[in-house]
Homo-oligomer: A and B are copies of this chain.
Amino acid sequence: MIESTANKQVRNLIQLIKKAKVRRETQTFVVEGIRMFREVPKEQLVQTYVSESFLEKQENHEALKGIHYEVMTDKVFAAVSDTQTPQGILCVVRQKEYTLEEILKKEFPFLMILENLQDPGNLGTIFRTAEGAGVDGIIMSSDTVDIYNPKTVRSTMGSLYRMPFFYEKDLKGVVERIKEKNVSVYAAHLKGKHAYYLEDYRSGCAFLIGNEGNGLTDELAALADTYIRIPMEGQVESLNAAIAAAVLMYEVKRQRD
């Protein structure tokens, strides 16, 4: 039983929850809550922690079957937890690495390429929507917000475990390699002449989505085969990045269905 926040495991957990750098170095991240715990692929599970209250409830024992776990006092658990009303279970999970080759293995790949997205909620929501829309992989510039930050992990609703993705320093290089595979690259851009729904997405396609405030850099946008735009009425100048991504992803799904 862990009874003090001075405990070494507790101190490590807090670092792992707070710091992207520690997550990167250890190639692990923290997941909280019973639902997110249940969905962890078992081969990625490193360590599990539960609170005393959690363990007292008979209905929670099923989820822990065959799993090694450590128990914390409720007070210590609350100090570690990133949520206001902790469910009493959290775990350390190994990060999974994907390659461009894995993401491109289908005949007609469907990819999202995100440049410098900064809102954790937006990123998590894009992962969740992407899984729903049948996206094959998400590639992010290395300055995109960390997908392993606890708020983002939560907002993926488990899609994080299932959606292939990687961070990439040389996003331009990756886009060039994707184009060589006959995947059409579309930039969601205010300069776009074509309404997004006038294109045919049934072959391989990839969408470039830019930063919330500044959009795509000219450098990356220049690599696109086609600039598309989402038509907007009224005085709306742009849509939220996760919304714009969703509208595009579901148009692909509609056409492919």
Contact = CB atoms under 8 A, between A and B. Distances in A.
Interface string A127-138: 011011110000
Nearest to A134: B233
Contacts of A133: 232-233
Nearest to A246: B243
The CB with the most chain B CB atoms within 10 A, among A163, A231, A243, A253, is that of: A243
A159 interface: yes
A236 B132 contact: yes
A231 B253 contact: yes
A219 interface: no
Given A243-B125, A246-B247, A257 B231 contact: yes
A240 B131 contact: no
Please give the count of copies of this chain that the complex contains. Answer: 2
A158 interface: yes
Contacts of A251: 250, 254
Contact of A131 (B125, B158, B163, B236): B236
A66 interface: no
A215 interface: no
Interface of A: 39, 121, 125, 128-129, 131-134, 155, 157-159, 162-163, 195, 197, 230-237, 239-240, 242-243, 246-247, 250-251, 253-254, 257
Given A129-B239, A132-B239, A133-B233, 13 more contacts: A128-B239, A129-B240, A131-B234, A132-B232, A132-B234, A158-B235, A162-B235, A233-B253, A239-B246, A243-B246, A246-B247, A247-B250, A250-B250
9 contacts: A129-B243, A132-B232, A133-B232, A158-B235, A230-B250, A231-B257, A233-B253, A246-B247, A247-B247
